[in-house]
Amino acid sequence: MSSSTRRSGRAAFDDAPRYAQQRESFGRPIWRHQSVGNHLADMATKLTAARQLLLHAARCYDTGGRADLEAGMAKYFCSEVAMEVALGAVRVHGGYGYSTEFDVERYFRDAPLMIVGEGTNEIQRTIIAERLVARGGLPR
């Protein structure tokens, strides 16, 4: 992930469990409530998948061949995950997620830039489709 995607996605995730451990509701940390725990689990899973896709694109690039399909997939997926994770962090923080007192507000504001900057995700999907057709599908 680019450093700015990392700031939006990973940093938002890093803040969410920390907050969920400190904040209490009904006498227990909010992460113990199923819906908050589910947000944390979804965020961690998506970030792990995004990282693996990014590493795959980097390995393809390192071989010296074309990696535009893999890079397009990584950029598209990682930026969407950054947005979803930033939203998840806002949800975990509840009303405080909109407060400038917490960094997740900024991550949520910054995340859409990953989707429209450096080649919009609509363009990335066009590139992905073109490369898939040109290659005859995904390599095995």
Task: Read off the CATH number of the domain in which 95 is found.
Answer: 1.20.140.10
**Mean per-residue pLDDT of the chain:** 85
Give residue 8's pLDDT.
66
In-domain check, residue 33: yes
Band the pLDDT of 22: cuts 50, 70, 90. Answer: confident
Per-residue pLDDT for 136 more than 60? Answer: yes
> Is residue 140 a part of any domain in this protein?
no
Does residue 67 sit within a domain?
A: yes
Q: At what angle do helices 34-62 and 3-22 cross, to 10 degrees?
A: 160
In this prediction, residue 96 carries a pLDDT of 83
Is the residue at 53 inside a domain?
yes
Is 95 a member of any domain? yes
pLDDT tens per residue, range 73-84: 999 999 999 999
> Can you give the pTM of this predicted structure?
0.80
| Total number of domains constituting the chain | 1
Asked if residue 81 belongs to a domain, the reply is yes
- If DSSP codes are grouped into helix, strand and coil, which group holds residue 28? strand
Average pLDDT over residues 15-21: 78
Contact 47, 54 (CB under 8 A): no
- Residue 11 domain-assigned? yes
Whether 82 maps to a domain, the answer reads: yes
Domain that holds residue 31: 3-135
The residues assigned a catalytic role are: 118
